[in-house]
Amino acid sequence: MEENKRYKVLLVEDEENIATLFKYNLKKSGFECEVACNGIEGLDKVAKFNPDIIISDIMMPEMDGLEFRKILIENPNFNQIPFVFLTAKGEEEDILGGYELDIEDYIIKTSSPKVVLAKLTAILKSKQKEREKTVGEVQQAADDLGAKVVPEEFLKINGFDVKHFHRSFDNIPGGDFIDYMALNEDTGVVVLGDVMGKKWKAWYFAVAYAGYVRSAVRFALKSETTVSPAEILAKVNESVHNDERIAEVFITLSVLVLDNKNKTVTYAGAGDLPILLKSNEVKLIESHGLLLGFDANAKYKDNLVKLNSGEEIILFTDGLIESRNPSGELYGNERLIDAASRAEKSDDLLEFIKSDFNSFTNNVYEDDFSLISIKAV
């Protein structure tokens, strides 16, 4: 019973008596359970509830279980959730049809609670072992390669306090990457990227892409008398567009140049999220830059920000604003702005936002999550 408490079950069943009975037995055995009455409602519940396993009836009004399963298979965010059909029929044709939709098993509605719970527990334990094996292999690969996509130390230059927080999804290496380059004691570069992809598969691309971007950025820096994020992005974009090996692996990328002598931060982005500026007011600054690799001649624009002492910039990936609370609400840009507005000057803004996020999501991280703060001192 204790080991089942962390598992969430979505039951999609239109017969109220059966749904009530199954939900009662699941909760009694320690599972968290939500019920939907058809496939349409099930799709909405999947997005909000984020279940560990789905049990669905086949014969239902509006959208039956087969159509519901087909839609889930087409969605990369949901097609890996273990799926079990619940049916009153035990006919071979139904069973074979279900397995063609890559389901884990069938449960007959008349099965005893012990049989149902034993099947669910066996499926979930098997998936957990697979996940642990995969995570172990990925982490071993990272160790063997000596590959890091997030630096262990913060950027250290005069006039700025730079730090970051990063957490990979479910401790699985993911697609966010951070890089710092100190050009001299008064000038530094901050890079934040996010590979488009979910969980550990994106990590492989992040390692390769981060290394490529670092090389391209350093090359651009050597060839420029004035360090321009827009020029750096233009050169990286041209190289990416002409490289077939990575041209179809898309990332968002933010590049910021910190200049202590002029007390400025210059920012440009490619397909990235806006950066947050907290000065006399809190506002978002958007780059409007095209994703890398789409157009070899894409133009990028520098945004110059004057930072007075105590003013701060926050960079973030979509793991922040696209995460949901238990009710299914997005954290979103408006909530981020509100959190930054409520923070006092004496507060650590990065920690304040992180705390607000954890309170909102009940400490649940749905994706890789990265925050970088740049504060003028």
The pTM (predicted TM-score) of the whole model is 0.67
Question: Is pLDDT at 204 greater than 70 in this prediction?
Answer: no
Higher-pLDDT residue of 270, 102: 270
| Nearest to 169, CA basis, from 320, 33, 46, 52 | 320
pLDDT digits (tens, 9 = 90+) for 280-319: 999 999 999 998 878 888 999 999 999 999 999 999 999 8
Model pLDDT, residue 353: 97
In contact, 325 and 271? CB cutoff 8 Å? no
Higher-pLDDT residue of 163, 210: 163
Model pLDDT, residue 327: 81
In this prediction, what percent of the chain has a pLDDT beyond 70? 82
In contact, 2 and 30? CB cutoff 8 Å? yes
Mean pLDDT of 313-328: 90
E-strand stretches of 42-151: 53-57, 83-87, 105-108
Model pLDDT, residue 113: 83
Kindly give, in sequence order, each residue whose CB lies less than 8 Å from that of residue 350, ignoring residues fewer than 6 positions away. 163, 164, 165, 314, 371, 373
Q: Which helix (H) or strand (E) holds 133?
A: helix 113-145
Kindly give, in sequence order, each residue whose CB lies less than 8 Å from that of residue 261, ignoring residues fewer than 6 positions away. 186, 187
Model pLDDT, residue 109: 81
| Nearest to 57, CA basis, from 91, 107, 96 | 107
Lookup result for tokens 């037995």: 25
Higher-pLDDT residue of 76, 292: 292
* Domains of the chain and CATH, by start: 2-143 (3.40.50.2300), 147-376 (3.60.40.10)
Q: What residues pair up with 284 in beta bridges, in sequence order?
A: 276
Question: Is pLDDT at 210 greater than 70 in this prediction?
Answer: no
Q: Distance (Å, rounded) from C-alpha 239 to C-alpha 216?
A: 8
In this prediction, residue 209 has a pLDDT band, given cuts at 50, 70 and 90, of low
pLDDT digits (tens, 9 = 90+) for 243-256: 776 656 677 899 99
